[in-house]
Structure 1
Amino acid sequence: MKVNRPFFPPIMPPAGRTIKPSSSAEQKTFAQVLQTAQKDAQPLQFSHHALTRMQSRGIQLSQDQLERLEQAVDKASQKGGKETLVIMQDTAFIVSTKNRTIITAIDDQSLKDHVFTQIDSTILI
């Protein structure tokens, strides 16, 4: 018994034209995928300045908070953020997503009337 199945011919561009993928279907090269995977695998680092600020301001991070901070940095990096302000409860961190480094840490007392400049993204966690 023969079953009638619909036939859909391939979509062909008009003569002399080619079909280009849309920007949302943009393909990444292997090198770009590898670089992103390597960057995401790097642990989060703290600059000397950030460590000094954390010590002087009594800022301590639990393992859970550190993991949440790393996830925020990953998310900011994936969205194209370069210098990100990460606000976690009563503490803020300025992070360079390019080299996965915490640049500085600010406690709740220092947050009042503080202006952040040269930031291209913000994440609230």
Structure 2
Amino acid sequence: MHALIFEEDALVALSVEHAVGMIGFDTVDVATDLESAITHYERRIPDLLFAAYRWDDGWKCADTLAALASASVPTIYLITDPGQKIDRQKGSVVMEKPFTIGDLVLAVAEARADRMFEQELPALPSCLRQL
């Protein structure tokens, strides 16, 4: 399984990268700007996309994300404002920052419920099953 993390905050991106590795993703690409996100996406379409919804550039990235999400890639939007309105596609999930590993596991499960992956996620490590 492959994840693409599209997040301008390096600490948040590292947290997500670490967490998805713990729950069984084989590979992860991290993009901190729009150009690298598109490059990573074109090189290898992810099984799951994690994306900050609002960027410092306004909504340019959000428009790009909507296009990527509509391409049948389950998307987890990372938001800082719980009141933020998001035009979500089927298979997209909203997760507030800051988040716990438990929040991330639940968001991945919800994204999987809307759009089935070609492969099943591996079983969670026993230390995470109690979250």
Asked whether the two chains share a fold, i.e. TM above 0.5, the reply is no
TM-score range, shorter chain: under 0.3
Q: TM-score, normalised by structure 2?
A: 0.27
Q: Point out the structure with max Rg over C-alpha.
A: 1
